Structure formats: C-alpha cells, structure tokens
Structure 1
C-alpha cells in the first residue's frame, strides 16, 4: 500500500508549522521530491498530490522516465558528467550540481545550441568532505567570475549536501555557514549572478536547514519511503 499522499501531507504540515514558528512564509519553501529509483507510476502519484518539482540524481533515470511522467519541473541534483549534458539540456528546469568550469562551459554550449538559458545552482562542499562533490567555498568567487561570462546559464543560488548525522543538530553549523555565504554573495550584487535559491536539507535534516535559511529542500525517503538499492 502506498503512503505517498499521507507522507506529502505530513511533510507539508511540518514545513507549515516550522515556518509559522520561525516567522517564514511556507510558500517560499520549494519542495523537491527526490525520485532516485522511484518508478514513473509512483512519481505520477506524487504529482497528483501537488508535487511540482522532482529531482533526479542520474541522467539515465531522467531519460528512462521523462516520457512516462506527467508534466513536471525536472531538477538534476546529482553529479553531472560533462559528456552527458547533451542528453538533459532540453529536459531539466535547473541543474543543482555545477561545481567546475568545464561543466558550466558545456552546459552553456549545449544550451546555446537549443537557444535557451538554463538555471543553475553552484554546488558547495561546505563540510569539505572528501567523498562529496562541490566547490570549496574559498574558490567560489573566482568560479562566479567565470560563470558570469557564460550567457546561456543563469546562476540562481547555491546548493550543498550536508554530512549525514544521526543527530541533525550536528549539521546546523554547515547550514549556517551556507546561509552566510549566500548572503555575502547576494550583497555583492555581482552582475549576472542571482542568489534566489538556497538548496539544502533532506529528509533527515530539512527542518534544521529551513531554520538556517534554506528555501529549497530535497526530500526522497520522507515522501516515497526507504529505497531498495540494487547497486
């Protein structure tokens, strides 16, 4: 038996209650349903319950599901190889995981070929984990200067993946620093760079993330339940 509807209602109520407690407008929080390993029928069930944004980690999963899923905003949230940009450039609303100039240049090139501009987020490895992708915060301004020269991408904010901790309070420090960095960049008013979205927080820690300034959360398990990974 599917619990997708109940799970979505529960998540939405949690977001609304939290925003009420901290004085935020819950409408400003963008919920992305993470659909890694989730089949199209269950994704469509979530869409029927009001989900408008879904996030995929792998290009192949986007390609496999794209024609089977109802009209929706697709977000590429996983590590993206440069040679696979061409497969999704006409399908995704936003790429969250831009962390190197060669990737950004390829996105710009492929977007130009289909006459569009594509929204991106800069992925920051704020906790400096060796196993995680993302740019080091000390390199972000040089990176931004390079991104600002690419006319077919639009920088819309920052993204991070926090370390998994049994006690989510332990990642608050990383979310707090991300918000500081987000605000610092915003205050510099860099031409062509917009700090609109701060994408951080997942099932285990999204409430901490929202408290610290996230306005885009990526939730998979909380909506679809635990996954049975085969790889």
Structure 2
C-alpha cells in the first residue's frame, strides 16, 4: 500500500548515499543504435530514417537561415523520447515527469534564443510585440499580452510535458492498485484496459517529444 500516490514518481534508490534516480537518464545511451557497423541493423536503419524525417520537418519550421540548427532539436527529441519510453518500464525512474528535468530543457533554450534575438535583431523583436493590423489604442495592451506570452513559454513547455507524463502514469497506477479488489472474472478486463493504456502512453511518449521539439524550434525561428 502506497502512503502517497505520487511516490511512484520518486522511488528511493541509492548506493552509498548517492541517489541513483536520475542515473536512469543515461540509460538512453545504451538503447540508442550506433552507426559504426559495416552492415547496419534494422534498428539503425529505422532510427536513421526517423531522425532524417524529423530533420526535414524541423528544417521547414526553422527556415533556410540555419540549416544545421536542427541537430540540437533532433537531439532534444531523442533525449525526451528515450526517457519517456524508459518511464514505461517498471522500476525505472521517469525523469520527464518532473519539472526539474523539463524546465532544465526548456528554460536554457528559450533564454538563449531570447538573448540572441534581443542583442542581434532588436528591431525585429520589438516589432514582434505588436502584431500587424493592431489598432493604435490597443498597442500597449498587445505589447503587454505578447510580453507575458513570451515569458511563460518555457513554463508551458515544461508543464505540458510533465503533466502529460504524470497523467498516464497516475491512471496506470490507480488501476493497478485496484487489481486485488477485483474478482477473477473481471481481471481480464483490467489487464486489457491496462494494455490499451500502455499503448496510449507509448503514443503519448512520441507525440509529446515531437511537440516539445517542434515548439522549441518555432520559438527559436521567431528571433531570425
């Protein structure tokens, strides 16, 4: 019996007083297919096809001014997706369900793009605060609204990813804890619903990774 419903997101694992929870993030390096083999495997070919397709998609969003800038966002997508999938494995810490992880990814990228934009494209950044066609009396209000929307962007990115990962995990945990109270005739229904939720969570893991990378790319493209 869990004393706290959210304790499943913060397991106690340590070795010589050294917390090992966040060490699960490095496990992605073990699952990532390497490309130094003479004959690449199907996993390597599938991963190369995925990253190339994502590179083409993000290149359209980023624009022709930064042809190599998509490498950062493809790597960001890979990191988030691997951690999302690792969180679906039992007894592995889900780092992307914590704001410490998601905000650490969103805030530096947003801050560096804002600093670069205000230092190198000051007029463009000021013009972006007032959408075209705005009536003159509404200009101060639009500047305030655009400023607030720009400031809360890293928070919305971080909360969106963490909340989506928490919601599915909580639902799986709640259904799993009610298993002993179910009769034997209803247990197949519970297992089938858990399997459907697991498939849904796998789709959410990919979708949220793409949304995080795509929105970060869009925010970066606005400063160019």
Q: Same fold (TM over 0.5)?
A: no
Greater strand fraction, Structure 1 or Structure 2:
1
Larger Rg: 2
Shorter-chain TM range is under 0.3
Q: TM-score scaled to structure 2, two decimals?
A: 0.24
Q: Which has the higher contact order (CA 8 A, sep 6+)?
A: 2
Q: TM-score scaled to structure 1, two decimals?
A: 0.23
